[in-house]
Structure 1
Amino acid sequence: MSRRSLFLLLVLSATWGASYLFIDLSLRGLSAPVVVFGRLAIGAAVLCVLARARHRRPFAALRGDWPRIALFALFEMVLPYLLIAFGQSRIATGTASLLVSTQMLWLVLLTPLMVRGARVRAVQLAGVGVGLVGVAALVQPFGAGGAPDPLGAVLVTLAAASYAIGSLLLGLLLPGRPTLPVTAAGQAVAAVLVAPVAAVGLPRAMPSAGTFGALAVLGVACTAGGFLLFNVLITRAGAGTASLVAYLAPVFSLAYGALVLHEPFTVPAAAGLVLIVAGTALTVSRRRRAVQPNTEPAPAAVRVGSTSTTR
């Protein structure tokens, strides 16, 4: 890996790791649905502008694909963003980031159910087991951030499963579509889907400037910027190098939680981190036959062994 690629990997990991910090800061003045709508609307606006700058008619190739894009956006953006926002209001940011990183474990379990002919090796199933032990270390009474809220942990874990489903739907429903337009369209559709729920949860009092600033950073840097960095890294260093973000982003998130939010970093939290990273490493080990990769519109995986997530 070149120094430039290593730098991009670290910047991307730091950016995605910061998502949970800025979600937490946004939730201090806004409801979960409003935070989700805000980050989607901001991210979609930024990506649409960039898509128009790069492509003369960025959405022309997507004619007839809008129902598929809506289904993909539901599982890759709407459901996980809402579940994470609701769940993170109950658990520590570091715990949330580690639970979301289990999406690779879910991908291993769900791929054979959704992709015809896909098989999972025993070593990858072992990785799922190791990762689940790590989850247990996090959510037991002395885990990261103190005694966790079981509902919060369940919601964030379901978000990881939703990310895995969305990743698989991308490869099944939208093969070969241009990356930037699909992501911009997906985030725009997701914002529309979330808008009615967000309208019900509008704040009664004007939030602080800090709350709006956190939401702006979440939308511009963590949502739109993270996607762009991810694809630049894939172009420069390949998907294998880019997949390392799955290991590094939770480390940054835990650090942000400890340094900025003063969340405790306990021994079980460290154990959970090591076990989830080890389990993920096993799930992305090389296999003889994998689901054919596809152009990703957000850090999304279409095969067992690649990284996934629209942060």
Structure 2
Amino acid sequence: MSRRGWLLFALMGVLWGIPYLMIKVAVGGVSVPVLVFARTALGALVLVPLAARSGGLAPVRRHWRPLLAFTAVEILGPWALLSDAEHRLTSSMTGLLIAAVPIIGVVLARLTGDAERLGPVRWAGLLVGLAGVGVLAGPHLGGGSARAIGEVMLVAVGYSIAPMIATRRLRDLPSLHMAAGSLTTAAVVYAVPAALTWPDAMPRGRVLAALGGLGLVCTALAFMVFFELIREAGTSRAMVFTYVNPAVAVVAGVLLLDEPLTGTILASFALILGGSVLATVRRGPSVDAPPAAEAPPVDVPVSEESR
């Protein structure tokens, strides 16, 4: 990979590793609907004009049904659930739980007819990764955090389903149009709930900065950098950055929010990350596939955020 490719790679690891930090800050000052609306609306304001100049918006209209399904499991549900969960979970713990997406994706792919054989290494990866989730979540299941952990795991399932929809139903929709269409749809859906829960007073500066960062940096800029990385390095190489995101989430939470760095977090990080790498190992040369949207991927890129 070129020097420019490595620079884009490092930038993506940060851009989709810090949303958990910003969500944690933002939920302290605004409601979940306001947070999701602000993030999606700001992202759409940047990406829709770019998509309009790049072939127009007709492709989005032709694919509106699968795009709506994709948006539901990639943005509408997940971004609200993540935001609600971070009322009770640390940003670093949330980022680590989301790191289980590749593992869940492998399981779902098998359940939905993926013919690729899972060898001993990939089975070992599944078990190791699931053990990491158990180590991280187990101590919190008996308290008030159980619901929040369940919400994050639902997000992980959604992030695992979204690439399947993109691969099977949206393969001929350009990535930029997919992102712009999804963000616009989500902003429209959350406009009324956001208006009904709009804060009475102006939120603090750090909350406004977090909202702006989520929409403009972690969404709009992240997608643009992501597409450049795909062009520079190809999909398969580009997607390796998703293994860096959990580390960024943990470091950001510890350094900027004074979140605890415990032995449990370190052990679960090693297990989940190691399991994800092993579970997604493929035999033979990989074939580049068109990207989807934000969140850790299975076969095609998504975001987070998520992605």
TM-score calculated relative to the size of structure 2: 0.91
The answer (yes or no) to whether the contact 2:103–2:280 under 8 Å persists in 1 is no
Q: Of 251, 264, 286, which aligns to 1:268?
A: 264
Give 3-state SS (helix, strand or coil) of 1:181's partner: helix
- The amino acid of 2:95's aligned partner reads S
Aligned in 2, Cα 1:206/1:187: closer, same or farther, shift over 3 Å? same
The answer (yes or no) to whether the contact 2:235–2:290 under 8 Å persists in 1 is no
Q: Does 1:250 pair with 2:246?
A: yes
- Cα distance in 1, alignment partners of residues 6 and 162 from structure 2: 28
Residue 196 of structure 1 and its aligned partner are, at CA, apart by 3.4
Residue 148 of structure 1 and its aligned partner are, at CA, apart by 7.6
Question: Within 5 A, what are the aligned runs for 1:5-16?
Answer: 5-16=5-16
- The amino acid of 1:136's aligned partner reads G
- Cα distance in 2, alignment partners of residues 13 and 287 from structure 1: 25
- The amino acid of 2:3's aligned partner reads R
The answer (yes or no) to whether the contact 2:9–2:238 under 8 Å persists in 1 is yes
Question: Within 5 A, what are the aligned runs for 1:1-311?
Answer: 1-53=1-53, 55=54, 57-115=55-113, 117=115, 119-141=117-139, 149-287=145-283, 294-299=289-294, 304=299, 307-309=301-303, 310-311=306-307
- Cα distance in 2, alignment partners of residues 246 and 38 from structure 1: 24
- Cα distance in 1, alignment partners of residues 232 and 294 from structure 2: 15
Measured against aligned partners, the alpha-carbon deviations of 1:247-297 in whole angstroms (never above 9, x if no partner) come to 11111111111111000111110111111110110122113699x864224
Task: Give the total of aligned pairs.
Answer: 304
Measured against aligned partners, the alpha-carbon deviations of 1:139-196 in whole angstroms (never above 9, x if no partner) come to 23389xxx88121111111101101111111111112211111210111112222333
TM-score calculated relative to the size of structure 1: 0.90
Indicate the RMSD between aligned Cα atoms, in angstroms. 2.3
- Cα distance in 2, alignment partners of residues 177 and 294 from structure 1: 12
- Cα distance in 2, alignment partners of residues 60 and 301 from structure 1: 28
Measured against aligned partners, the alpha-carbon deviations of 1:14-39 in whole angstroms (never above 9, x if no partner) come to 11111111111111110112111110
Residue 135 of structure 1 and its aligned partner are, at CA, apart by 1.1
